[in-house]
Amino acid sequence: MSEVMYYAKRILPPLVALQLGMIGLGLLITKVLAGVWPFTVEDGVNRYFAAHRTDSRNAVTEFFSLVGSTPVIIGVTFVAALVLLRTLHSWREPIFLCAAVSAQAIVFFFTTLVIDRQRPRVHHLDASPPTSSFPSGHTSAAFALYAGLALILAGLVRRTWAKWLCWLLVLVPVCVATSRLYRGMHHPSDVTASFLNGALCITIMALAVLRPAAHGSTAHGSAARGSTAHGSTAHGSTAHGSTALSPAARTGSSSPRPGRSAPR
């Protein structure tokens, strides 16, 4: 029970703050700054993509849009968590990954309930979900999954080139975000806010789930060293006591017993 409270205290306050921050950001963009640059011209990106669509680009962006869809994100997260569990024999990394993906979904869902933003005024290549355009659920989910996975893998390898190779996974959510813009499903500020949502969810869960592993190992090592030192001190005291008693013992053994004369 104490462990549950420990994680609740480390996760819930920053997650609630992120939720309020995302809602505040959405209200700021849609209500306060809607007539201010660059929000007055950001849909020019969507119009540019709409004017340069081709069959091949449509197919590529359809694939990456599918990569960020809810069923695919859930499936990949489950498989990745299972592989991590079987490979590392640890629950921390799988729980971190699942928690980061779940957290961004919660923040996304409650934000769309408050922020009612229409999608860009271009032809949409995908069916419009009933949720608001702000933020992009595809983008935040893809970022939480693939950037979170990159963080885990980069921590497992030692060589610099291997770490950079792991961080190439971040290109997946970038492709997802670009595809959502190309297909007319989100404004640029929607996907930008989604990167922020995904990154902060990863940070919150990494500090709460991954960092205690190192802290716990250090504390355990310190306790072990303390126990060893205490044992050594006790052993030294015992040895010292034995040494102190040795002269008396030797004296007692060399003294003649009463009633007997010393040998001549």
One-character DSSP codes across 100-161: HHHHHHHHHHHHHHH---PPPSS--SSPPPSS-SSS-HHHHHHHHHHHHHHHHHHHH--SHH
* Structural domain includes residue 221: no
Domain that holds residue 163: 2-32+43-212
pLDDT higher than 50, residue 226: no
> What is the token pair recorded at 253?
């053994």
Return phi, psi of residue 91, to 5°. -90, -20
* Structural domain includes residue 261: no
The predicted structure's pLDDT at residue 5 = 87
Q: How far is CA 32 from CA 28, 29, 75, in A?
A: 5, 6, 38
Considering only 87-101, 133-147, 204-218, 222-236, which range has the smallest mean pLDDT?
A: 222-236
Residue 72: is it exposed, middle or buried by C-beta count within 10 angstroms (0-12/13-18/19+)?
Answer: middle
* Structural domain includes residue 237: no
* Structural domain includes residue 253: no
Structural domains in the chain (count): 1
Taking the C-alpha atoms of residue 194 and residue 188, their distance in angstroms, rounded to an integer, is: 10
Nearest to 202 by CA among 160, 146, 153, 154: 146
* Structural domain includes residue 256: no
Percent share of the chain, pLDDT over 70: 80
Q: Which residues, 6 or more positions from 129, have their beta carbon under 8 angstroms from its beta carbon?
A: 137
Taking the C-alpha atoms of residue 264 and residue 259, their distance in angstroms, rounded to an integer, is: 15
pLDDT higher than 80, residue 247: no
Rg for the chain, CA atoms, rounded: 32
* Structural domain includes residue 231: no
Q: Which DSSP string corresponds to 189-251?
A: HHHHHHHHHHHHHHHHHIIIIIHHHHHHHHHHHHHHHHHHHHHHHHHHHHHHHHHHHHHHHHH
Averaged pLDDT, 43-53: 96
* Structural domain includes residue 99: yes
Residue pair 210/93 in contact by the 8 Å Cβ criterion = yes
Averaged pLDDT, 62-70: 97
Nearest to 30 by CA among 132, 182, 136, 139: 132
Cis before 247? omega within 30: no
Averaged pLDDT, 186-205: 97
The predicted structure's pLDDT at residue 212 = 62
Residue 234 pLDDT class (50, 70, 90 cuts): very low
Averaged pLDDT, 250-254: 44
Percent share of the chain, pLDDT over 90: 73
* Structural domain includes residue 183: yes
Evaluated on CA atoms 150, 151, 157, 163, the torsion sign reads: positive
| Average pLDDT over the chain, rounded to an integer | 85
